[in-house]
Structure formats: structure tokens, C-alpha cells
């Protein structure tokens, strides 16, 4: 083998290693990180609504100026008014109840079997 063949083989091995590392699965984010990501997504969506509102206002302004400057312009068609999104307000979702209490292991029963009744009726003696 020549040195150029060895170099190309090593380069291919390194590229395969990098691809393998890049495709490795990342761990699940912590609850704090997930909450922060949800808030960032909500803020980004709100910013998009604000941008659309500002665009709507500017389009209305340009259309009004055009109708004022052009006497032969058609009258405005009936369109919905621009909706102001208001200030940013984020309310985090309520935390999910603990699923461990509802799991079969917590109740002491095997999966697929019905849970025992909480209050069994006492047997009557006749």
C-alpha cells in the first residue's frame, strides 16, 4: 500500500467516525430545559403575530394613500381588520400528575389483571 492509499483510508475512517458521533442520540432534556424551550417557542410565535400585525398596518396605510392619490382607484374590498396580538403573556402548562401512582407496580398487581377493590364488602353470616 502506498502512503496516499493509507491516507485516504484513514480519512474515510475518520469521516465515518464523525458521522457516527454526529448521529448519536442525545439524552432527553431536563424539565427546566423543556419549559424554557416551550417558552421560547411561545415567544417566537408571538413575535410572528406582532410582525404580521405590523405588516397589516403598513399595507392598510399604503392602500389608503394609494386610494387618496389615485381618484380612479377602486373602493376598498371588505377585509378583516388587523388584529393586535397584545403583550406577550406565557402561562406554562400544568405539571402532569405522577404516573407512578397509576402504574401496576405501585398497586402491587401484575399488568393485565384488574386492581383489587378498595373497600371489599364484608361477608354476612346468616
**pLDDT tens sequence for the chain (126 residues):** 688 788 887 888 877 777 676 677 788 889 999 999 999 999 999 999 999 999 999 999 999 999 999 988 888 788 888 999 999 998 887 777 765 445 555 555 555 555 555 545 555 565
With residues binned 3-state (H G I as helix, E B as strand, rest as coil), the percentages for the chain, rounded to 5, are: 50, 0, 50
Helix (H) or strand (E) holding 47: helix 31-69
Phi, psi of 60 (to 5 degrees): -65, -40
Q: What is the pLDDT at residue 107?
A: 54
Q: What is the pLDDT at residue 42?
A: 95
Instruction: Look up the pTM and report it.
Output: 0.53
Q: What is the pLDDT at residue 26?
A: 80
Q: What is the pLDDT at residue 80?
A: 86
Helix (H) or strand (E) holding 48: helix 31-69
Cα–Cα distance for residue pair 27/24, rounded to 1 Å: 10
112 by Cβ neighbours in 10 Å (0-12 / 13-18 / 19+) ranks as exposed
- Grid coordinates given for 121: 364488602
Q: What is the pLDDT at residue 11?
A: 81
Amino acid at each position: 500500500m502506498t502512503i496516499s492509499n493509507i491516507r485516504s483510508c484513514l480519512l474515510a475512517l475518520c469521516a465515518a467516525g464523525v458521522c457516527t458521533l454526529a448521529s448519536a442520540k442525545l439524552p432527553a432534556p431536563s424539565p427546566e430545559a423543556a419549559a424554557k424551550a416551550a417558552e421560547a417557542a411561545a415567544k417566537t410565535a408571538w413575535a410572528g403575530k406582532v410582525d404580521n400585525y405590523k405588516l397589516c398596518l403598513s399595507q392598510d396605510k399604503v392602500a389608503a394613500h394609494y386610494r387618496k392619490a389615485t381618484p380612479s382607484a377602486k373602493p376598498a374590498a371588505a377585509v378583516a381588520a388587523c388584529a393586535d396580538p397584545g403583550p406577550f403573556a406565557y402561562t406554562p402548562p400544568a405539571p402532569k400528575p405522577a404516573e407512578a401512582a397509576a402504574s401496576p407496580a405501585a398497586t402491587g398487581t401484575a399488568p393485565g389483571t384488574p386492581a383489587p377493590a378498595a373497600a371489599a364488602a364484608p361477608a354476612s353470616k346468616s
